[in-house]
Each structure stands twice: as structure tokens, then as C-alpha cells.
């Protein structure tokens, strides 16, 4: 006979809920990226980060996107093989690889951003009047220096 679990409301446990919601929302939008452009969610995150701050290292993206180094490395290698990214050695720290978009990568990002913006608009509509309150609450949980 299984011992009953302690009294704990898993469905209201915020870390659990946030993880489940983030996973579902990410999967929802990732299906669109995959179907239209053949890129994965980690590839999207790498591409987006490099597009917003040129010459990021894999380590930088690992921190910014909260992805494991191996996932960032694999995604960057796939994007490089597809012609969307270039890798080059950091001039300050020879151990780091810097990433930058190719012209094809910039064009892909330009095509992806409207999809992300439309998805965000849909989320905003679903949230209705709760959108600003949600953003304020999330800002309290993740201080700016950690974002």
C-alpha cells in the first residue's frame, strides 16, 4: 500500500504551474516555427538572442535563455550548418565562441518576429485586463539583473 503524500496543493504550487505553462506555450509556438521554417525551440532562442545582441557567446546565451550549454551549442551548430549563424573566436577570450547572424539569419529572424508578435498579441487577448498585473508579478519574481 502506498503511503499518502503530505497535504500539498501541487496545482497551486507556483514553480510547478509556471514550468507547465511555459512548456505548453513554448510548444505551441514552436510548432509554428518548426512547420514553417524547420527550426527547433532552442534554435529559435539562440537566433533571437543573437539577433538582439550581436556577438554573444554561447555562455551569454546559456545565461540569457536559461538553456543548458549543450543545447545552445547544438542549436548554434545547426543554425551555422543551415547558414543562419557564423561562429568566430572572441577577441578578448580565445576560449569563447562569438555568434553573429548571417544575412540569411537576419532574413529568417525578420520572418519569425511577426509570428512571435502575433502569438504575444493572442496571449495578451487571452489575459485581457490581467496582462499588466501578470507582468508586474513576474517582474517581482525575476529582478531585472537576473533577466
For CA atoms 133, 135, 138, 142, give the dihedral sign. negative
Task: State the Cα–Cα distance between residues 48 and 25, nearest whole angstrom.
Answer: 17
3-state secondary structure of 87: strand
The DSSP secondary-structure symbol of 94 reads: T
110 vs 42: CA distance, rounded Å: 17
Does the pLDDT at position 68 exceed 60?
yes
Higher pLDDT, 2 or 25: 25
Domain boundaries, the chain: 40-146
Q: How wide is the angle at C-alpha 8 spanned by C-alphas 6 and 11, nearest 5°?
A: 145
pLDDT of 88 over the 80 cut: yes
> 3-class SS at 92?
coil
Q: Which CATH architecture has domain 40-146?
A: Orthogonal Bundle (1.10)
Amino acid at each position: 500500500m502506498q503511503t499518502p503524500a503530505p497535504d500539498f496543493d501541487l496545482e497551486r504550487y507556483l514553480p510547478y504551474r509556471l514550468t507547465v505553462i511555459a512548456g505548453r506555450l513554448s510548444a505551441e509556438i514552436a510548432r509554428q516555427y518548426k512547420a514553417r521554417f524547420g527550426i527547433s525551440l532552442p534554435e529559435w532562442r539562440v537566433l533571437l538572442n543573437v539577433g538582439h545582441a550581436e556577438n554573444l557567446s554561447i555562455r551569454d546565451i546559456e545565461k540569457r535563455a536559461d538553456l543548458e550549454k549543450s543545447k545552445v551549442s547544438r542549436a548554434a551548430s545547426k543554425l551555422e550548418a543551415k547558414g543562419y549563424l557564423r561562429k568566430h573566436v572572441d577577441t578578448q577570450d580565445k576560449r569563447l565562441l562569438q555568434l553573429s547572424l548571417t544575412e540569411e539569419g537576419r532574413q529568417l529572424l525578420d520572418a519569425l518576429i511577426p509570428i512571435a508578435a502575433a502569438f504575444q498579441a493572442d496571449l495578451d487577448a487571452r489575459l485581457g485586463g490581467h496582462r499588466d498585473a501578470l507582468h508586474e508579478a513576474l517582474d517581482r519574481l525575476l529582478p531585472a539583473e537576473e533577466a
